[in-house]
Amino acid sequence: MNFKTVAFVGARQTVAQEAFKRLSARYDHVAPDEADIVVALGGDGFMLRTLHRYMERRVPIYGMNQGSIGFLMNHYDEDGLMERLAQAQATELNPLRMTATDIQGKAHQAVAINEVSLRRSSRLAAKVRIEVDGVVRLEEMICDGVLVATPAGSTAYNLSAHGPIVPIGAGVLALTPVSAFRPRRWRGALLPRDATVIFHIIHADERPVSAVADFTEVDNVVEVVVREDRSLTPILLFDPEHNLEERIIAEQYLP
């Protein structure tokens, strides 16, 4: 990885801010908008926010874990950072674009690196019709929710909903129900990465549903369209021995 300038950004937690101060004092750095590489200090949530913030610039993001899980992060070490950055391997991600139409007819757009999820907003279960590439695959699913996950996001909410772990290079998306009551035995599907998924909310006025794309939430939706957006390619950097593809594969063998 060739670069000339680096910037540091840190989560608001004390441990991340202290790391930010130490690294800023030790290494030459510039403002994030001027950098060739951004080093993010925090956890996975902060990494997602950093990726969103600099997505259109396509500046590579190298994370060092100062949070809890740190699945998207490298281990924290202040020594030899510039050498690590020079040797880091890039992983390009393709996010999802959500177009959610609310009950007033207003369309809302947002981008998701992990997943687009729908969830019921009341005591009543949601009723959702699922259409894939113009074909209605499920006429009515009664559930708490449903989601479409990218490979990078397949180990997040998708995994907790018992969806499949998807390797980065598989070229598929995960369509996963959340606490489905009917059809009771349906566990989801793997879709081609170029598939267009449309969720139609049945009785949206009586059974309200919200749609979430990473950090953007839209209430009272009646229709949600999800497709991969290949015009955006956020870039993650990993140490060679801890690349994202290997981490996702390894997750399949954890107890």
The residues annotated as belonging to the active site are 44
Q: What is the DSSP letter of 133?
A: T
- Are residues 210 and 100 in contact, defined by beta-carbon separation less than 8 angstroms? no
Q: Where are the alpha helices (DSSP H) in 54-134?
A: 81-87
Q: What are phi and psi of 190, to 5 degrees?
A: -100, 130
E runs forming strands in 26-169: 37-42, 61-65, 89-92, 96-102, 107-112, 115-120, 126-132, 135-143, 145-149
Max Cα–Cα distance, the chain, nearest Å: 59
Element (H, E) at 8: strand 6-10
Q: Residue 191 has which token pair?
A: 């879709």
